[in-house]
Amino acid sequence: MLIPWNAFWFIIGVSLLVTIHEFGHFWVARKLGFKVLRFSVGFGKPLYKKIGAAPDHIEYVIAAIPLGGYVRMLDERDGKVDAADVLPDGRRFQDIDEFKQLLLADKDQLARGLTEKLLTYATGAAPTTGDRAEIAEIVHNIADKDYGFRLLVHEIVQSKAFQSK
């Protein structure tokens, strides 16, 4: 008699964990502006299906096999995805190549952003205002050598901002 109850509670526990996990994917995708088509808990034949409100019309599904789930987002399989957008400063781009060119137009800004992200990852803490001069020095040093990534990592490791945290 214990085995069926244990199996039942195991399925309930896994279903709950999967739901929380998949909701994390769903939430992040929505926050980043991705078009979510379906949020499903479980696999197989849908037992319950609801279409969300306009303008998104997300399909919410509870499926027959509760040991998994997924979030389906819009991609090339659903037709052409419009890559055109506008940067915060108002510059427009039509595709990934134009976007890359806009990013490369200010190599110092791109290098500064990458330096800050790598420092955050390497030290476990975001750079402070006191680290700005050190970051500017790193960007200046790598600019002289054509912004090499290996040199960037080397400069970060040798920096006071890295070694003091």
Which pair of tokens denotes residue 144?
């002289």
- Same domain, yes or no, for 71 and 90? no
pLDDT at 7: 87
pLDDT at 80: 75
Catalytic residue among 22, 116, 134, 155: 22
Whole-number Å distance between alpha carbons of 71 and 67: 14
Picking from 78, 112, 143, the residue at the C-terminal end of a domain is 78
Please count the other Cβ atoms lying within 10 Å of the Cβ belonging to residue 69: 23
pLDDT at 1: 67
- Same domain, yes or no, for 58 and 14? yes
Question: What pTM value is reported for the model?
Answer: 0.54
Q: What is the DSSP string of 26-77?
A: HHHHHHTT--EEEEEEEEEEEEEEEEPPTTT-PEEEEEEEEEEEEEEE--GG
**What are the per-10-residue average pLDDT scores of the chain (165 residues)?**
84 88 93 90 92 90 88 82 81 90 90 94 90 94 92 94 86
Whole-number Å distance between alpha carbons of 85 and 14: 40
- Same domain, yes or no, for 90 and 71? no
- Same domain, yes or no, for 57 and 28? yes
Q: Tell me the three state secondary structure of residue 3.
A: helix
Phi/psi of residue 56, nearest 5 degrees: -85, -40
Residue range(s) defining the domain that contains residue 118:
85-94+99-163
pLDDT at 24: 94
- Same domain, yes or no, for 89 and 62? no
Q: Is 22 a catalytic residue?
A: yes
Number of domains in the chain: 2
Picking from 47, 78, 109, the residue at the C-terminal end of a domain is 78
Contacts 24+ apart (CB under 8 A), 83-90: none
Question: Residue 113: exposed, middle, or buried by beta-carbon count in 10 A (0-12, 13-18, 19+)?
Answer: middle
- Same domain, yes or no, for 28 and 49? yes
How big is the chain, counted in residues?
165
- Same domain, yes or no, for 137 and 103? yes
